[in-house]
Structures are given as structure tokens and as C-alpha cells.
């Protein structure tokens, strides 16, 4: 299983980029690539932005991939449940693409393509910070799967 992470919008915060890189580097033996999907220009309406970004997101996804979008109205997991979910995905062995959206969420096109919707929280986080949270959560999941002593409950 290869993992692709799509972040929508150029990260402007170097601190976040640096934290994300640190966590992803600590995940060993898994092929992870990160792609930045260009965010839509702010001069358009929210709906137009979402739909433009949606088309960009879809263009980064292959038909064969399993797509999980991060969405605060998605299924919520504990860290351990997320690890179990990820382990089941590994067994299914399709490549998996996680999509971490921009400021305004996803277009219907993206919702339609998504195989799974994952919520990190009922709260809305900044789309910058959510990248760091997700990278840490992915690292945490792999330490749980590998039985490493990182996660405490």
C-alpha cells in the first residue's frame, strides 16, 4: 500500500510544514508522498473556489486509489480505531489517498469520489494546523500498528 497525501492550498506557514515533515519522516517502510494541490484564487465566490479546487483534487487522484477525505462531518475515530482502520486498508492493499482540504471544505465532486470520510474532531481546525494534526495522527497510527511505545491511552 502506498499513501498519497493531498494538501489543498500552498502552506504559508513554515512551522507547520516543518512539523508535518518531521512526523512523516518518522514513518518507516511506508511509501508516502505529499502533494500540494493549488488553492483557488480568493477573488472568486466560495462555491466557485470549492468547485475549482475540487477539479484540481480529482486530477491528482488515480481511478484505482482508495480516497479518504478529512471532513469534520465524517466518521470520528479514537487514535486506536484510526490505526485499526488503517491496518484494514493495508490488508485491502489498494493505494490510499488522503485529502486534507482548504479553508472552505470540499465540492460535491470530491464528496462523490471519496470512499471514506474521516473526522479528526467535531471542532473546525485551521486548515494549516490540521495538516500537523493529521501527520501526527498518521505517525501515531503506524506506531500503534507496529506496537511501538508512543501512544498512551
Binding site for a second copy (CB under 8 A): 13, 15-16, 18-19, 46, 72, 76-79, 82, 103-105, 120-126, 129, 132-133, 136-137, 140, 151-153
Of 49 and 97, CB closest to a second copy: 49
Bridge-based pairing state of the strands 32-37 and 3-8: parallel
Of 76 and 93, CB closest to a second copy: 76
Nearest-angstrom CA–CA distance, 102 and 71: 11
Indicate the DSSP class of residue 148: -
Of 89 and 140, CB closest to a second copy: 140
Of 33 and 76, CB closest to a second copy: 76
Nearest-angstrom CA–CA distance, 18 and 13: 9
CB of 80 to a second copy, least distance (A): 8
CB of 63 to a second copy, least distance (A): 30
Of 10 and 15, CB closest to a second copy: 15
Nearest-angstrom CA–CA distance, 153 and 150: 10
According to the 3-state scheme, what is the secondary structure of 92-105? HCCCEEEEECCCCC
Cβ neighbours for 123, distance < 8 A, ≥ 6 positions apart = 72
Cell for 44?
A: 472568486
CB of 68 to a second copy, least distance (A): 15
CB of 123 to a second copy, least distance (A): 5
CB of 126 to a second copy, least distance (A): 5
Amino acid at each position: 500500500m502506498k499513501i498519497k497525501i493531498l494538501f489543498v492550498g500552498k502552506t504559508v506557514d513554515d512551522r507547520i510544514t516543518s512539523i508535518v515533515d518531521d512526523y512523516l519522516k518518522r514513518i518507516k517502510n511506508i511509501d508516502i508522498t505529499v502533494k500540494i494541490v493549488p488553492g483557488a484564487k480568493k477573488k472568486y465566490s466560495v462555491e466557485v473556489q470549492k468547485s475549482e479546487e475540487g477539479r484540481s483534487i480529482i486530477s491528482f487522484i488515480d481511478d484505482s486509489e482508495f480516497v479518504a477525505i478529512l471532513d469534520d462531518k465524517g466518521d470520528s475515530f479514537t487514535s486506536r480505531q484510526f490505526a485499526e482502520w488503517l491496518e484494514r486498508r493495508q490488508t485491502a492493499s489498494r493505494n490510499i489517498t488522503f485529502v486534507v482540504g482548504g479553508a472552505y471544505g470540499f465540492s460535491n465532486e470530491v464528496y462523490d469520489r471519496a470512499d471514506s470520510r474521516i473526522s479528526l474532531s467535531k471542532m473546525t481546525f485551521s486548515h494549516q494546523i490540521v495538516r500537523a494534526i493529521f501527520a501526527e495522527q498518521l505517525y501515531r497510527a503506524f506506531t500503534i500498528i507496529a506496537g511501538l511505545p508512543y501512544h498512551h491511552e
